[in-house]
Amino acid sequence: MTLYQAVKSSKVIQKMNPIQVALFTEEALIIAPCTSFVLILMGNYELIFIQAVNEFDMGILIPVGVGAVVGLLAFSHILSWIFKRYKDQTISLLTGFILGSLSILWPWKNEVFQTNQFGEILLKSGGDPVVIGYEKYLPQQFDNEVIISILLVLTGIITIWVIERYAEVKKVE
């Protein structure tokens, strides 16, 4: 029995409505990068992140917000505990996650579509083309998008540097 089958067959989960299951999952995974993916798998991404936000539905947004705060606190305590005991391994793991996600987050890319033997683009049942990859490129001109991207990168670097300096000063005191 897989983990998914075990959770799905759980009597507690079966008694919960889909929103409660989504909120429970959100609470457990709020910091994790796969939160949106899990909600997509459960079929609740559109309900929570699109429909509830557009309609400003507090009956959904408040429990999601509470779940996010509880999940953030719980996960940060777990991460802190792991970091205290396995500092080098934790930093290596987090660095790997960040470096591994850079190619996905690269802002300048063109979609590569699947084609048939005649060179025609294949479509999904909904009419959207089938994306099989991305062709990354460097921008040829400095437009607003490039300038904003560079400024955001520099802001991130400066923010990390300031936080590290502040931590060093606090450690000395």
Please count the structural domains in the chain: 3
Q: What is the pTM of this model?
A: 0.46
Kindly report, residue by residue over 134-149, the tens digit of the pLDDT.
899 888 888 888 899 8
Query: Percent of the chain at pLDDT above 90?
Result: 14
Q: If DSSP codes are grouped into helix, strand and coil, which group holds residue 148? A: helix
Residues 98 and 26 in one domain: yes
Residue 129's domain comprises: 107-138
| Pair 132, 164 in one domain | no
Q: Within a 13 Å sphere around the CA of 16, how many CA atoms are in the beta-carbon half?
A: 15
Instruction: With H, G, I as helix, E, B as strand and everything else as coil, classify residue 136.
Output: strand
Residue 4 lies in a domain: no
Is residue 40 domain-resident?
yes
E-strand spans in the chain? 109-113, 131-136
In DSSP terms, which residues pair with 129 in a beta bridge?
123
78 and 162 both lie in a single domain: no
Residues 58 and 26 in one domain: yes
Structure-token pair, residue 34: 């796969």
